[in-house]
């Protein structure tokens, strides 16, 4: 498979400590990623979450925080928030224009805000066309 066919793949950041809680869910570093390809964002978090979101449906994307009390792993509040969290750092929040129906395990839920923990959040934001303006200006100047 060529690099073009694969698209840009961004590993989901999973700490060694968090990995202990992910193993029962089948979530490994190899099976947890966000991939940008052909106008879509594919997010995989183990065998139970594999969804696609059109890039045009992403209203906003920014570096954010995930509260410790909310825990790690696949999370939802069943009111529009979904978290695929393997760390408490490098969190990116995606806000969608229109909610999308996703399946977290076999449970359907609506998603308006999606939280991901990524190895390189700035590169991811750039790949989906949502990099902060100062980041883009600094890169052009370099």
- pLDDT on residue 75: 93
pLDDT, position 133 = 64
> CA-CA distance, 11 to 131, in Å (whole number)?
18
Check residue 108 and give its pLDDT: 93
pTM greater than 0.85: yes
Sign of CA dihedral 134, 81, 45, 95: negative
The pLDDT value recorded for residue 132 is: 81
Edge-to-edge strand list for the sheet holding 50-54: 8-11, 32-37, 40-45, 50-54
For the domain bounded by 3-141, which CATH number is listed? 2.30.29
Helices (H), 12-66: 16-22
| Boundaries of every domain in the chain | 3-141
Which ranges of the chain have pLDDT less than 50? 1-4, 135-138, 140-142
pLDDT at 77: 94
């Amino acid at each position: 498979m060529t690099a073009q066919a694969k698209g840009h793949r961004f590993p989901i950041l999973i700490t060694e400590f968090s990995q202990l809680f992910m193993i029962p869910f089948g979530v490994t570093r190899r099976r947890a990623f966000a991939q940008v390809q052909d106008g879509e964002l594919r997010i995989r978090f183990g065998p139970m979450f594999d969804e696609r979101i059109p890039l045009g449906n992403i209203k906003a994307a920014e570096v954010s925080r995930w509260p410790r009390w909310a825990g790690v792993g696949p999370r939802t509040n069943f009111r529009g928030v979904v978290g695929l969290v393997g760390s408490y750092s490098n969190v990116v929040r995606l806000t969608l224009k229109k909610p999308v129906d996703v399946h977290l395990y076999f449970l359907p839920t609506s998603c308006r805000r999606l939280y991901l923990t990524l190895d390189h959040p700035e590169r991811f934001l750039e790949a989906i066309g949502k990099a902060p303006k100062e980041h883009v200006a600094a890169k052009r100047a370099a």
